[in-house]
Amino acid sequence: MRELFAACAEAHPNIALIKYWGNRDHRLNLPANNSISFNLEGLLTRTLVVFDSQLNRDRLIINGRERFRDPLKRVQRILAWVREDSGIYWNAHVISVNNFPEGVGIASSASAFAALALAASKAAGLHLDERNLSRLARIGSGSAARSVPDGFVEWRSGTGDHDSYAFTLFPPEYWDLWDCVAVVSTEPKPLGSQEGHLLAETSPIQWARVTDAPRRLDWCRKALKERDFESLAEVVELDSHLLHAVMQTSSPPMFYWEPTSVALMHQVRRWRKQGWNVCYTLDAGPNVHVICTSEVVQRLEHELQNFPGVLQVLTARVGKGARPLPLETCQDLLRQGGLSLSGVSRRGT
């Protein structure tokens, strides 16, 4: 008889205020330094995992399209851990959708692996606590560890696999900050973060970035605690500059900034001089994340939408962590996988 064990979950991507770049252990994604981020409420990945006793290989469907090779291999790393822990060795259907457009340079790996870790572990009957879920998500993509807990989050590098996980520094409502992401290019990236972490060590200034990280982390925690935007702005921009300095001085160099990215950085600093609570940070791509407080968000969104070279603006406030969903709300995903609610064992509710 065919048996199906299913669970569904959702998670948000996050924006790092203090960045993760470079690993001590590439297989386990043990990072070179702690990092701090907040979850982006408006943006969402929803993932369904169904272990199927009669399936002859793992299947991965993202945004309605079946994926093979690298994306499937990364998903299988999470499934392998879950199988080992649960003793359920069946193949799985993994069906995932994002509510934000693919290929606009908004990394979906953090939300994807956080949602996958939760759905896969629940489907296999495991009840991982937040810490162990964060560790599992980390195996898929380091920054995914930070999409598991709520709100403002710190991922501690730890001493090994057992203590490298993320935890909440402050809940989402602690400070009403927003991220307006100015999308400036939809070109595929020449090098992704997976390759980037491998190259970090080739930059002569990675050691300086990592050695100074405890100071920036303290500074950032204090600015968050005191809700001191001016101080937060300084450390967030400094940390983003250090990340890009390392990228630009790696071999081969990674240069992600486009003319519009640079123009936006100048404009954000001018707005700050005029008294707006705004600052910028950039990840492994040319899009500019403009962080702001709630009283400027509408004006900022409007200005960014009309800024020459900006294709689109995505706006998100501070969000919660990964959470399970009732299977009834994931029927569209079941349908995409050619499955239905009948015959499915609900492990995730």
Site residues (vs ligand PMV, CB under 6 A): 16, 19-21, 35, 107, 109, 141-143, 193-194, 197, 283-284
**CA distance between the termini of the chain:** 23
Amino acid at 74: R
Q: Which CB, 109 or 336, lies closer to ligand PMV? A: 109
C-alpha pair distances (Å), 275 with each of 22, 166, 293: 35, 33, 12
Minimum gap (Å) between residue 198 Cβ and ligand PMV:
10
CB of 206 to ligand PMV, least distance (A): 13
Structure token pair of residue 212? 């100074």
Nearer to ligand PMV among residue 134 and residue 143 (C-beta): 143
Q: Rounded to the nearest whole angstrom, what is the least distance from the CB of residue 139 to ligand PMV in the complex? A: 11
Strand partners, 40: 318
Calculate the dihedral angle through the C-alpha atoms of 129, 74, 326, 15, rounding to the nearest 10 degrees. Answer: 70
Looking at the Cβ atoms of 135 and 197, the one nearer to ligand PMV is 197
Minimum gap (Å) between residue 327 Cβ and ligand PMV: 28
Alpha-carbon span 246 to 134, nearest angstrom: 27
DSSP 123-148: HTT----HHHHHHHHHHH-GGGGGGS
Query: CA-to-CA distance for 245 and 130, rounded, in angstroms?
Result: 34
Closest CB to ligand PMV among 38 and 90?
38
Question: Would you say 194 or 345 has its CB closer to ligand PMV?
Answer: 194
Our CB check for ligand PMV shows the closer of 19 and 135 to be: 19
- Nearest in space to 85 (alpha carbons), one of 59, 60, 117, 115: 117
- The answer to whether 146 touches 174, Cβ cutoff 8 Å, is no
Q: Which helix (H) or strand (E) holds 62?
A: strand 59-62
Q: How far is the CB of 88 from ligand PMV (least distance, A)?
A: 27
Q: How far is the CB of 318 from ligand PMV (least distance, A)?
A: 16
